[in-house]
Structure 1
Amino acid sequence: MDWKPDFTSETPLYEQIKTFIIHKISLGEWAVGTKIPSQRALAEHFGVNRSTVVTAISDLIAEGLLEGNTKGGTRVINNSWNLLAASPPPDWSSYVQAGIHYPNLLAIQHINRAEFQEGMIRLGTGELSPDLLPTERMKQIFAESSANPFTLGYEEPKGNLYLRKQVAQYLQGNGIQTSPSNILIVSGALQALHLISVGLLQRGSSILLEKPSYLYSVHVFQSNSMKLVGLPMDEEGIQASQIGRYKKGYNASILYTIPTFHNPTGTLMTEERRQALMKACTDEGLPIIEDDAYRELWFDEPPPLPLKARDPHALVLYLGTLSKTLSPGLRLGWVVAPEPVIERLADIKMQNDYGSSSVSQWAASEWLGRGLYQEHLIGIREQLKMRRDAAVQFLHTYFAGLAKWTVPTGGFYIWVELTVDVPMQILFERAIKDGVLLNPGSIYNRHTGSYLRISYAYAKLHELEWGLKRVAILIRDLVGK
């Protein structure tokens, strides 16, 4: 809601609020069955006394537009045109509740909204700062002439052929030997996961993955009645020795892993563990989804080769993306898989969106084909390493005695474990009131409530320091230290 009452108007504030709510209802924005914000929340948003909101709500209840009770809150039960209609309007809330795709966790919904509040310091955001995005170079690329054909029409089902050739050549540098026919261009790695969930796996399947994992924060598999089964991690990555037992115990269909600069822990899977993981999955005949979104964000030395680079039995579905390194706004990534799998996923993708943006594909092919992407990565690594060092120093300064952490060797994240007993929901809410947005560990595993995912990629350095200092003060206030 971006409306505010006019305190200079002669119209009483409660009447202005009534008019606003009636307007929302009459337009159908607050449909019948909608639970409106609480009186306290409305009062805070409008900047008025709660009694003013109570008066407005009471009038609307008396007029038959709203209904309130102590347990269920206040809901819309009527609208202006329903008073004249021969039959009641649809109850859109029931439709919303009947949808088969699970809603986001409430904390995720709250974070998604708060991220765009002006002045909010985002300590957990998993994307590059606008300061690090190559905006000016992108403008130049579009202004310059190119031998690469440009189209505003649709691309072929697997994606632009020139781009797929460039991706295949780029992947050779990471030890992955593939061809354009084995590559599907997708609108980011998340779309790839959705295509896999509906195109390759049966309803009711079990998915093995690290615990914690980014995948818990989205419902791409759960919405298709699939179960996520977390395997324990250690400092070398997912514990490969457990795969056989978990695969049999849960009749698992596939394993999802982020072996390189894991989200949210930042863990880099060792070479030895990668070999053990591939052996365990080969022995069990268990396919792997390798999400390699953060591979290029190493600081001191390149990470071990991808799992896909050691895959003679075509066990691995490999996901790559430009969202973490070049531009989240391009919405562009790729899947590398056996050709029948690519054909299947391409068919489903065409049914969903008729292909990723042709403009984005052209831009991506320019970055890769002209060698600009590799040049860009050098600068991004330098900037992220500097930010990582600063974040670690801020943690040492402000979180001493409150938490412990491991310094990542790449990626975006520091997985901070609080060593004091803090009510995380209260910390989350108080931080937002102070203009600091956190990503609690429970988003990535409900049993990791004492963790925070701290990202050094997004906030400016002075914001990062101020935000961490403020959170540390809140923690000390909550625990009495």
Structure 2
Amino acid sequence: MSWQPNRRSDTTLQQQIVQWITANVERGDWAAGTKLPTQRQLAMQFDVNRSTVQQALEELRAMGILEAKVGSGVYVTHNSWHALIQQTQPNWQTYIETSIHKPNYHTIQLINEYEQRDGIIRLGTGELAPNLLPIKEIEASLQELSFEPKALGYSSPQGNDQLRAAICEYVQKRGITAEPQNVCIVSGALQALQLIAVGLLEQGSIVFQDPTSYLNSVHPFQSVGMQMISIDRNEQLAQTLTQRKRKKQAVFYAIPTLHNPTGHVWTAREKEQLYEACQASRIPIIEDDIYHELLFEETSPPIKAMDSSGQVLYIGSVSKTLSPGLRIGWLIGPTTVIKRLADIKMQTDYGSSAISQEIVWHWLQSGKYEKHLLHLRQQLQERADFVEQLLQKTFKDIASWNKPKGGFYIWLKFHQSIVDKAFFIKLLQQRVLLNPGYIYNPQDHHHIRLSYAYASYEELQNGLKILYECAVEEVVR
């Protein structure tokens, strides 16, 4: 050992000694259990004061690389490699805990994890069952499509030109007037919300919403510093919005058609009241309309259909109807807004899948999409009727619900407050996965979002039987 610290270095003598000993351990020259020379010997070797060596060894002991044995000396610890890794790697936990995007509720993390496991009965999933997806028809579409080389490259910032034109023609049937420049193709409705959050709102802005809301189960606004305010839509709505908004930026997030998770369908008057109240306070409306195509019966036009001033940002998607894996949705709004959000989208993912956009365009312009919707609504109606019959047979004494008007869900309300984390885990242990009401409203311990769209008929029957038995145990406890 002929090494000595460099007295001309900017690094202190103590730190040079720490680094030299650490390097010997890292190279394996000093294996676990190796006994170090005495402090006096090291001081002579390094030509430094003994106190300098002592301080260096104390630092290494604090790091867990060395350990002192009374009456024996100083040794390389047996977990020195682990200690070295901790010292050389970034403290990722600190990075995670101080990052901008906040973690989701533990319940939702469990839902996301267990949805991918085999043998789980998924009673809350917001997704179509695989056998409801038009897999063979989509495969056939790939044979029918003729791809130009340009079509397989990056699309324009706002998305495929043909697809945007087809969307304008499609939404016209719902009373929405739009030009291709008013449309931005997004990778699902959630990305539209994320783009709005980072592209239009300043930190501290207010996002108004219904008391029970899908937004409480995801964090596109919360994680960038927005203030979420739940508000009742009553006769004093306009006054309440003005009072709560004050001088801050604000938007109102709404799902007027087949609300997630409640399944409620707003009346035409409810839509008018919100539009007028927000117009009075100059508050933009985000209209999330991804479920409207799954209505069992016709309803009033969307809020966007009455929008003459560009106040409403309208979100549509094929994730709930055609395939969630295509990751195609759209956002309709004023040209200046759409250009702004398209610019941000290009900075984050350089455009949605070109092939997926071609497929969706083909389905819209060929009429395949609307034909598929007719069949899909019929299948969902049959599933909804089946689940309602099961509920009528067993649940009517302990719970209540409204007849579903479409979509995926029944908002099941237990008479007693039994839906808590323990109840969720209890069912999960029996391989039944549900979406409890408290992920949409932290104070709600009565509801579950019951989906009839994913589980098989046999799974629905078995899962509801287990749910009923667990609920009865809680009720009589």
> In the alignment, what sits opposite 1:153?
153
Q: Give the Cα separation in 2 of the matches to 1:431 and 1:135.
A: 32
Task: Indicate which of 273, 278, 284 corresponds to 2:270.
Answer: 273
Q: Give the Cα separation in 2 of the matches to 1:201 and 1:258.
A: 20
Residues 80 and 467 from structure 1, CA distance in 2 versus in 1: closer, same or farther, beyond 3 angstroms?
farther
Q: Which has the larger radius of gyration?
A: 2
Residues 405 and 87 from structure 1, CA distance in 2 versus in 1: closer, same or farther, beyond 3 angstroms?
closer
The C-alpha deviation readout for 1:339-395, integer Å capped at 9, x for no partner, is 000000000000000111101101110110111000000001101111111111111
Q: CA deviation at 1:147?
A: 8.0
Q: Give the Cα separation in 2 of the matches to 1:364 and 1:150.
A: 17
Q: Give the Cα separation in 2 of the matches to 1:412 and 1:181.
A: 32
Q: CA deviation at 1:422?
A: 1.7
Amino acid at match of 2:122: R
Task: Indicate which of 390, 394, 414 corresponds to 2:386.
Answer: 390
> In the alignment, what sits opposite 1:18?
none
Partner-residue secondary structure (3-state), 2:196: helix
- Structure 1 segment 34-433 matched on structure 2, within 5 A: 81-82=81-82, 87-146=87-146, 151-232=151-232, 238-239=233-234, 241-251=236-246, 253-299=250-296, 301-422=297-418, 424-433=420-429
The C-alpha deviation readout for 1:282-306, integer Å capped at 9, x for no partner, is 222111000001010011x212101
Q: Give the Cα separation in 2 of the matches to 1:405 and 1:148.
A: 51
Q: CA deviation at 1:461?
A: 1.4
Partner-residue secondary structure (3-state), 2:244: helix
Partner-residue secondary structure (3-state), 2:164: helix
Q: CA deviation at 1:173?
A: 0.7
Q: Is the 8 A contact 1:241 1:280 kept in 2?
A: no
Partner-residue secondary structure (3-state), 1:137: helix
Q: CA deviation at 1:477?
A: 1.4
Aligned residues: 400
Q: Give the Cα separation in 1 of the matches to 2:227 and 2:86.
A: 45
Q: Give the Cα separation in 1 of the matches to 2:401 and 2:466.
A: 18
Partner-residue secondary structure (3-state), 2:315: strand
Residues 358-367 or 419-428, more deviating:
419-428
The C-alpha deviation readout for 1:406-425, integer Å capped at 9, x for no partner, is 11211111111110232522
Q: CA deviation at 1:150?
A: 6.8
Q: Is the 8 A contact 2:419 2:436 kept in 1?
A: no
Partner-residue secondary structure (3-state), 2:313: strand
Taking only the aligned residue pairs, the percentage that are identical comes to 45
Amino acid at match of 1:119: G
Q: Is the 8 A contact 2:181 2:335 kept in 1?
A: yes
TM, length-normalised to structure 1: 0.80
> In the alignment, what sits opposite 1:462?
458
Amino acid at match of 1:457: A
Residues 219 and 85 from structure 1, CA distance in 2 versus in 1: closer, same or farther, beyond 3 angstroms?
closer
Amino acid at match of 1:249: R
Amino acid at match of 2:284: P
CA RMSD of aligned residues (A): 1.9
Q: Give the Cα separation in 2 of the matches to 1:415 and 1:87.
A: 51
The C-alpha deviation readout for 1:41-61, integer Å capped at 9, x for no partner, is xxxxxxxxxxxxxxxxxxxxx
Q: CA deviation at 1:197?
A: 0.3
Unpaired segments of 5 or more residues in structure 1? 1-63, 66-77, 233-237
Q: CA deviation at 1:176?
A: 0.4
Partner-residue secondary structure (3-state), 2:294: coil
Residues 375 and 149 from structure 1, CA distance in 2 versus in 1: closer, same or farther, beyond 3 angstroms?
farther
Q: CA deviation at 1:188?
A: 0.5
